[in-house]
Structure 1
């Protein structure tokens, strides 16, 4: 994002941009600024989680209720571009830190919405397995690098 911003700023210093060219440059710079803001927020969250002392992990978390809120927010974010399918075990709750779990779940779902092509399905699942609780997000986006 910074390279794109720097390039447009240099171009604007060297020449006067007008009309559609100016609007395109401003739109691109706005997008890149928002992208950078998102990256900084993610880094700050990760840094806070890594630096924090071990938090009490004994809060009973109503994950189904949390997922209903995330689903509404994701539907709004998607603006009906994708089909969101949530499959949730309504009885399955866990012990943990609610703020951190909400952050992790939200990030995965919102990333799927933001990086999946329009017209595709995003499947979110919260299920009980023999090994314990399983949360998953399935889509056809570019994926997360290992």
Structure 2
């Protein structure tokens, strides 16, 4: 089982509640397109899938990650032949915080916003996909000193 699958299965209800609330509160400003509906009046989250997880930072003992989430929506509204129903997708960027100690704990959603693909790579991630921390050469001495102070006082 991949970390992405474990993460989605463990926090499905919490994520669904937060994403559904975001979709409901932002329904007027969401960029949803449909071939059969011209004027969308009804928007509801049906399901979602986590496309990717990027562990981008560390806040104390917590890990802050950016999730790329695809939300599957049921939409309704007036089309050419009256009121019609359709389905649509929305891509969201979800920033979450959690504790990784003997499992996943103390999960919270920090921010949800529409995903905007860009050519920028963004900030350098703190961890690799396998949760190995990235260490730059200029920080090696300070990290080594911290380890020595912690284990050899």
Superposed pair shares fold, TM > 0.5: no
TM-score normalised by the chain length of structure 1: 0.25
TM-score by length of 2: 0.24
Q: Please state which structure has a larger fraction of its residues in strand.
A: 2
